[in-house]
Structure 1
Amino acid sequence: MSALLHIENLSVNYGHIQAVKNISLELQNSEITALVGANGAGKSTSLLAISGLIKAASGTIRMAGEDISTLSPHQIVQKGVVQVAEGRAILTTLTVQENLDLGAYTRKDKIQIHRDLDYIFTLFPVLKNRATGLAGNLSGGEQQMLAIGRALMAKPKVLLLDEPSMGLAPLMVQEIFRVLKEINQSGLTILLVEQNVRQALKIAQRGYVLENGEIVLQDSGQNLLHNPRVIAAYLGA
């Protein structure tokens, strides 16, 4: 089976520091892939390089067989790779509806955009109820829902998620992960970067463990959940 997104020998430097060291990973179509590890391991840097928001020092990134390594961030979005940033990055002075509309700014298919908006409101009913209110008045969990909804309005083939559970109450974390499973079951391919290793590996078909910029383990999500090294480092006894 050929990968939908294939990253090969990706390295990223910050000055003289090599933050990501020749990592290779694959995202299979319609799967959730988790990239887990401690804070500072290089997870977010890897996502930023895939999105084109920082320049890789070396390596190739292929989307459906096409090299997208040299494309600009907006061209990468047009190829179907869309990121939900760490910290959500919603526009707080705009309404919920305006934030969602911005997600679809590259699209012209108005009828399908309307259908997708209805789908977002089905996934996140609270957003429909708050559509005309300012996004800045939403709770942290609601803002994360809006960030995911805005990304889905871009009609991604691959959704990159950077720490979607960060700073959220446990019940809201459960709800976010439930929705991620639901949108994956609709066929969307997801790369999930998470410090919440247990939650991420529970819903991921496959996973990679990143330590100090290097991939040290890769396996199915379930196997990694029961791997003694993962348990000792991230999950406790």
Structure 2
Amino acid sequence: MSALLTVSQLHVAYGHVKAVKGIDLALEAGKVTALVGANGAGKSTTLLAISGLIKASAGSVMLDGEELRSASPHHIVQKGVVQVAEGRAILGTLTVQENLDLGAYTRRDKANIAADLAWVYSLFPVLKNRAKGLAGNLSGGEQQMLAIGRALMARPKILLLDEPSMGLAPLMVQEIFRIIKEINQTGLTILLVEQNVKQALKIAEHGYVLENGEMVLHDRGANLLNHPRVIEAYLGT
């Protein structure tokens, strides 16, 4: 396996509360990896630690052999690790176009930025149709598309997706997962955090199951879908 990013013995605490307790995971280049578990398991905390938005108390985050644990969030983005936050975090008082432009803020390659914008608009035609409108007027599903599109404008090596299906109608959930698969087919490495365990494991090459801050299972996504512990805890019978 060619690991693009490796997390080793990662510990994260909020005061005296240990949220992540010495977990290991590896992202294979060009693949979708799912990190699943119940609410409060430590999934989002793990993403925030990888992104540098919170600081791990111990452990290692290695990107292509470079340690990121002590790096600043903007440096991590410049290195190609870009997160789509839970709740989307779009800037509602700016236009759709302005939100996308901000995604490319760290870049200076104007021709490639223009090409990436055209690609984002091909992925999300509704955004092109509403480019001059305020982002705050978009529906929840459209805002999620905008959040993903904005992250893609940074031309990431690794895309971190935190609960992209949260709060969306079933048809929009299906569309978001279809788009995630399409993005991955371009070769982009994706780490997907999801409470929708079935959908996440269906599209993931590899999956990790996090419970109470500890990694309890990891395997191919298809294998985890059929694992008795996963079925009992997350999928029902």
Q: TM class by shorter-chain length?
A: over 0.9
Please show how residues 5-24 of structure 1 align to structure 2 within 5 Å. 5-24=5-24
Amino acid paired to 2:236: G
Percent of matched pairs sharing the same residue: 76
Q: Structure 2: which 5+ residue stretches go unaligned?
A: none
* 1:94 matched to 2:116: no
Q: C-alpha separation between the residues in 1 aligned to 2:12 and 2:123?
A: 36
Match of 1:72 in 2: 72
Match of 2:156 in 1: 156
* 1:140 matched to 2:140: yes
SS in 1 for 2:216: strand
Q: C-alpha separation between the residues in 2 aligned to 1:95 and 1:15?
A: 38
Q: C-alpha separation between the residues in 2 aligned to 1:70 and 1:79?
A: 13
Please show how residues 28-39 of structure 1 align to structure 2 within 5 Å. 28-39=28-39
Q: C-alpha separation between the residues in 2 aligned to 1:70 and 1:40?
A: 25
1:2 shift after superposition: 3.3
Listed one character per residue, the Cα deviations across residues 88-124 of structure 1 (whole Å, up to 9, x for unaligned) are 0000000000000000000000000000000000000
Q: C-alpha separation between the residues in 2 aligned to 1:68 and 1:12?
A: 15
Match of 1:51 in 2: 51
Match of 2:205 in 1: 205
Amino acid paired to 1:208: Y
Q: C-alpha separation between the residues in 2 aligned to 1:221 and 1:139?
A: 31
Match of 1:42 in 2: 42
Match of 2:113 in 1: 113
SS in 2 for 1:199: helix
Q: C-alpha separation between the residues in 2 aligned to 1:50 and 1:29?
A: 16
Amino acid paired to 1:94: L
Amino acid paired to 2:137: N
TM-score normalized with structure 1 length: 0.99
SS in 2 for 1:232: helix
Q: C-alpha separation between the residues in 2 aligned to 1:178 and 1:64?
A: 28
* 1:221 matched to 2:221: yes
Q: C-alpha separation between the residues in 2 aligned to 1:2 and 1:26?
A: 9
Listed one character per residue, the Cα deviations across residues 68-92 of structure 1 (whole Å, up to 9, x for unaligned) are 1110000000000000000000000
Listed one character per residue, the Cα deviations across residues 16-56 of structure 1 (whole Å, up to 9, x for unaligned) are 11000000000000000000000000000000000000010
Q: Structure 1: which 5+ residue stretches go unaligned?
A: none
Match of 2:191 in 1: 191
Amino acid paired to 1:37: G
SS in 2 for 1:4: strand
Match of 1:84 in 2: 84
* 1:180 matched to 2:196: no
1:226 shift after superposition: 0.5
Q: C-alpha separation between the residues in 2 aligned to 1:50 and 1:116?
A: 25
Q: C-alpha separation between the residues in 2 aligned to 1:50 and 1:34?
A: 15
Q: C-alpha separation between the residues in 1 aligned to 2:68 and 2:48?
A: 13
Q: C-alpha separation between the residues in 1 aligned to 2:70 and 2:233?
A: 36
Match of 2:165 in 1: 165
Q: C-alpha separation between the residues in 2 aligned to 1:65 and 1:5?
A: 8
Match of 1:26 in 2: 26
What is the RMSD computed on CA atoms of the aligned residues?
0.4
